[in-house]
Chain A
């Protein structure tokens, strides 16, 4: 059993690609070994910016010998067939064995494959792994690139170390041969010192890695590796820590220590730890400082500038620290302090206990000869330049009021088919204003003279203004946040500033849902508009593609509505938003009068879809279908979103199928009551009775299957009007006892169900329904529906239909599983 070492040396591999590269190397290696019938003990993979390494322990010296048999033609078969079989299996005729197969002597070829040297297997596997390596982006280079067929790698591949035990695994790919030697740290382990500031043209050397342009005096020193066992240590001696986790630990702990030595707390950032480990072979965290005057700029901006552009960690003051104390310790590396500016800065806009300190931690790749002073000084200068850009943007943006920034939104195309961002903003504002004006909407009921409605209006009209600011141009991820800051600076109310800042929320599953009513209104209106408008132009999510994040937007809408208990009729709102077009007053009055201020039923009964409206060049015939599509999309997302909470998807369908329920809060309350009910014995039995009734009705063709969105369902849901007026005819015969009992039970239950639903007392509605369980069971027991007497048969079918409709007041039970 022997250990195997593979190192693939290259020019700097992008940090972000290294984790996947390690996993790919292990996967490809394991697959190659498995194909040869080899199994390694442990497999370790490491990466640095310049190398990928794999150590496989305990590989056997040889693969196992295998013996395979192949069944051939029977004895006496034509020579041609037998010879063909021999050829195919690489045996001669006298090597064939004859065995009995079901009483028939048959030829067999026995092929013995001797074990192969593992070294030979590896020598073939290595080029195969390199060729198959799935880099996200790869390139050609050097002389070989005269052909486009030349080897591709993430950056030029310059060396292969492949050792099985102490022995070389000889292999070659595209002119590159495996060997024992690699290189150490780029600067710590160079042949000649870099200290000289003059590089003379050196004498030509016979090194294949040097170009015809003339090799240099500072060529990397080569290191000879003995075997897998000494690899990591030999590299360590040459200032390379090949284990990425070790480097990550050094950065994580070193950065924290650099901060705490200065009396500060590091702002942890695991992404930065990994990235810096992917950029260094010998990481050395160093503390630097910046001018505290930059702390006027919002913390998020400083942090982003440091992180994104420079890959620096930032630091905070410890809780309750006296800033003066920490300031004394803030210098790192003994570099020259920046111009002395008092640490007193304006308080952070969002009051935080722990404030950002004017310090950062960078990660160098060398143990510098001066202890890092020059490196820190250089990095401080770069950060200062970046921060002065940020400060410049911060101050410049504030010279223009948000409302003036917002005017420029008419120059920004939101989507080529959907007009400008200014159009969108106007639609969002109109919708937000409408949402908060709805009766009993659950937002907030302002008292007379309250500024709430005005704040909603203003926040909605300013919510996208920061998109044209310099700062958001530089850091798009600061959208919203910057608008919030600028609103505060302008003296807008806190509610407006919060709404501008948070109206993109909730962004993901884990993101908090806003609760401030102004924010909720703007956020809801913005997302409702986005989803509606993209559906309108046919940009629907398909499969894994959702370029406009509409699924996420609908989940966010559901969460905003449900967690804040916002009451709104989705159907008319979605329809009105489509009709709203660019938000201009002409369309607005139609959206408001014909859609928003009506219920779905009123719209459907009243609107003349096929008539051209004077405001619209073409009639709105396709609108109901479009809104239906949107409602289905909402139902789908709601099911996904509620799955985790244990809400049954079939019950959501059952309530949605009524067609009239478009208030998500009421819908979910109904679903939850229904779920509790159908899990009781009464529920189970009532469902069974329902299905039986439904089957009979279907078979008899009496009353088509309950239409998903029929007005019948609408009536049932709205709880207004009787669900059975048509069937309430006096009987022409004396009903049987069970029949009479069911009629009485329905007479009694129906008003109760209707009243309970109207009062949104869904558990009561279920209880009222449960009273039908006994009578329906008894009815099926005792009464023949399909009576010879036509009058009886029709009356009983009508009774069953009445029963079904009564149940449908609560939900479409045909959607319920089980």
Chain B
């Protein structure tokens, strides 16, 4: 790190906004629905389809109910942030652009060992895959870097480059703290724990112990039905929202431990069909051929 005081959590986000905004990206706000990863954001999934150029960046809260640890694990959370950049078509200097963004948030690549380590990405739920790397900084994975090859079962024409920064990890690294709850959130005395610790405790308890499974099963079926309803009316965007909803409800059911191994595959298959159906309808609505 430089001698300067390291960036606070919110400054890291602001710096990334500034950096990618300066480079022509539309800076979006988080999507207002629960999702497991920034890749689910329609600005990634749906915009990866079709021929139109698309450059966007946003921070997205991610919910992974099974990763909750009641606020007791310094690295694991059921709710955390990803910073997501989507560049389509992937620019020729995308790696350089990315490395410069690390410099922008205070990582000096002559002091730290930055490496691109093979890590291919596949999301059966989205019918998507891509090739790329996990980017290591001194042995820690700080970013997932992917060239989308397929989305919703469709070849990406053209290919989008996706950068997913793990914001808490990066911030812990930049600030040199060992627990996510100790992160300096705003540079003015507020920690990440001040804001999210109680949230983690209560949400973990709800995810694992309290959530009414009967109504969750009901929600899942309703979301699935609504998705199909939207698809019947050629409304791919609301259909996709329902697919995201179903996916999250499924994750909650998993956390409640009420889905057996055998059932798991069938639920995942249903979510996949909804997501793929939405992508298909999106292609159709825009008049794009597979």
Interface residues of A (CB under 8 A from B): 11-12, 14-16, 49, 137, 139-148, 154-156, 158, 186-188, 193-199, 201, 208-220, 279-280, 310, 312, 362, 364-366, 368-370, 374-375, 377-379, 381-383, 385, 411-413
* Interchain Cβ contacts under 8 Å between A and B, 5 examples: A148-B157, A194-B103, A197-B4, A199-B19, A201-B22
> What DSSP secondary structure best describes chain A's contact surface?
loop
Give chain A nearest CB distance to B87 CB in angstroms.
7
Verify B104–A198 contact, CB threshold 8 A: yes
**With known contacts A194-B110, A213-B24, A381–B157 Cβ distance under 8 A:** no
Verify A211–B157 contact, CB threshold 8 A: no
Task: Name the A residues within 8 Å of B262 (CB-CB).
Answer: 413
Closest residue of B by beta carbon distance from A50:
B116
Verify A368–B111 contact, CB threshold 8 A: yes
Verify A374–B111 contact, CB threshold 8 A: yes
Verify A139–B149 contact, CB threshold 8 A: yes
Verify A201–B93 contact, CB threshold 8 A: no
Stretch touching chain A among B133-141, B234-242, B244-252, B278-286? B133-141
Verify A211–B111 contact, CB threshold 8 A: no
Task: Name the B residues within 8 Å of A146 (CB-CB).
Answer: 51, 89, 157-158
Verify A141–B90 contact, CB threshold 8 A: yes
Q: When chains A and B are docked, how far (Å) is the Cα of A385 from the Cα of B110?
A: 24
Q: When chains A and B are docked, how far (Å) is the Cα of A297 from the Cα of B90?
A: 45
Q: Residue A12 contacts which of B4, B116, B157 (CB distance < 8 angstroms)?
A: B116
State which residues 152-178 of B face A: CB under 8 Å.
155-159, 161, 173, 178
Q: Is B229 an interface residue (CB 8 A)?
A: no
**With known contacts A11-B95, A279-B117, A310-B139, A197–B108 Cβ distance under 8 A:** yes
Task: Name the B residues within 8 Å of A208 (CB-CB).
Answer: 92
Give chain A nearest CB distance to B146 CB in angstroms.
10
- Give the number of residue pairs across the A-B interface with Cβ within 8 Å: 174
Q: When chains A and B are docked, how far (Å) is the Cα of A590 from the Cα of B116?
A: 60
**With known contacts A142-B89, A143-B89, A145-B156, A413–B103 Cβ distance under 8 A:** no
Q: Residue A213 contacts which of B97, B132, B155, B159 (CB distance < 8 angstroms)?
A: B97
Verify A213–B261 contact, CB threshold 8 A: no
Verify A213–B91 contact, CB threshold 8 A: yes
Task: Name the B residues within 8 Å of A411 (CB-CB).
Answer: 260-261
Q: When chains A and B are docked, how far (Å) is the Cα of A312 from the Cα of B155?
A: 37
Closest residue of A by beta carbon distance from B101:
A199
Q: Is B128 an interface residue (CB 8 A)?
A: no
Verify A382–B138 contact, CB threshold 8 A: yes
Verify B149–A216 contact, CB threshold 8 A: no
Verify B97–A211 contact, CB threshold 8 A: yes
Q: Is B193 an interface residue (CB 8 A)?
A: no
Verify B91–A218 contact, CB threshold 8 A: no
Task: Name the A residues within 8 Å of B114 (CB-CB).
Answer: 187, 365
Q: When chains A and B are docked, how far (Å) is the Cα of A366 from the Cα of B138?
A: 11
Task: Name the B residues within 8 Å of A213 (CB-CB).
Answer: 23-25, 55, 87, 91, 97
Task: Name the A residues within 8 Å of B260 (CB-CB).
Answer: 411
Verify B138–A379 contact, CB threshold 8 A: yes
Task: Name the A residues within 8 Å of B131 (CB-CB).
Answer: 137, 139, 154-155
Q: Residue A375 contacts which of B89, B95, B112, B173 (CB distance < 8 angstroms)?
A: B112
User: Chain B 93-125, CB within 8 Å of chain A: the 1/0 string?
Assistant: 111110110011010111111111110100000
Task: Name the B residues within 8 Å of A137 (CB-CB).
Answer: 120, 131
Q: When chains A and B are docked, how far (Å) is the Cα of A154 from the Cα of B117?
A: 13
Give chain A nearest CB distance to B120 CB in angstroms.
7
Verify B139–A216 contact, CB threshold 8 A: no
Q: When chains A and B are docked, how far (Å) is the Cα of A212 from the Cα of B53?
A: 12
Q: When chains A and B are docked, how far (Å) is the Cα of A526 from the Cα of B215?
A: 44
Task: Name the B residues within 8 Å of A382 (CB-CB).
Answer: 138-140
Verify A197–B24 contact, CB threshold 8 A: no
Verify A141–B111 contact, CB threshold 8 A: no
Task: Name the B residues within 8 Å of A219 (CB-CB).
Answer: 93, 96
Task: Name the B residues within 8 Å of A158 (CB-CB).
Answer: 92
Q: Is B29 an interface residue (CB 8 A)?
A: no
Task: Name the A residues within 8 Å of B92 (CB-CB).
Answer: 142, 156, 158, 208-211
Give chain B nearest CB distance to A281 CB in angstroms.
11
Q: Residue A210 contacts which of B93, B106, B118, B147 (CB distance < 8 angstroms)?
A: B93
Q: Is B75 an interface residue (CB 8 A)?
A: yes
Q: Is B2 an interface residue (CB 8 A)?
A: yes
Q: When chains A and B are docked, how far (Å) is the Cα of A377 from the Cα of B137?
A: 11
Task: Name the A residues within 8 Å of B156 (CB-CB).
Answer: 140, 145
Top 4 closest A-B pairs, CB basis? A378-B138, A211-B91, A14-B118, A12-B116
Verify B158–A217 contact, CB threshold 8 A: no
Task: Name the A residues within 8 Å of B103 (CB-CB).
Answer: 194, 196-199, 218
Closest residue of B by beta carbon distance from A374:
B111
Q: Residue B159 contacts which of A15, A142, A194, A195 (CB distance < 8 angstroms)?
A: A142
Q: Residue A197 contacts which of B2, B91, B94, B138 (CB distance < 8 angstroms)?
A: B2
Verify A214–B23 contact, CB threshold 8 A: yes
Task: Name the B residues within 8 Å of A145 (CB-CB).
Answer: 89-90, 156-159
**With known contacts A141-B90, A218-B99, A375–B113 Cβ distance under 8 A:** yes
Give chain A nearest CB distance to B53 CB in angstroms.
9
Q: When chains A and B are docked, how far (Å) is the Cα of A368 from the Cα of B109?
A: 8
Task: Name the B residues within 8 Å of A143 (CB-CB).
Answer: 89, 158
Verify A378–B173 contact, CB threshold 8 A: yes
Give chain A nearest CB distance to B263 CB in angstroms.
12
Q: Residue B109 contacts which of A140, A194, A216, A279 (CB distance < 8 angstroms)?
A: A194
Task: Name the B residues within 8 Å of A215 (CB-CB).
Answer: 93
Task: Name the B residues within 8 Å of A139 (CB-CB).
Answer: 130-131, 147, 149, 159
Task: Name the B residues within 8 Å of A385 (CB-CB).
Answer: 75
State which residues 48-93 of B face A: CB under 8 Å.
51, 55, 75, 87, 89-93
Give chain B nearest CB distance to A147 CB in angstroms.
7
Verify B90–A142 contact, CB threshold 8 A: yes
Q: When chains A and B are docked, how far (Å) is the Cα of A684 from the Cα of B154?
A: 71
Task: Name the A residues within 8 Å of B113 (CB-CB).
Answer: 364-366, 368, 375, 378-379
Q: When chains A and B are docked, how far (Å) is the Cα of A379 from the Cα of B261?
A: 37
Verify A187–B110 contact, CB threshold 8 A: yes
Verify B93–A216 contact, CB threshold 8 A: yes
Q: When chains A and B are docked, how far (Å) is the Cα of A564 from the Cα of B243?
A: 59
Closest residue of A by beta carbon distance from B138:
A378
Task: Name the B residues within 8 Å of A383 (CB-CB).
Answer: 139
Q: When chains A and B are docked, how far (Å) is the Cα of A197 from the Cα of B111?
A: 12
Q: When chains A and B are docked, how far (Å) is the Cα of A127 from the Cα of B110?
A: 36
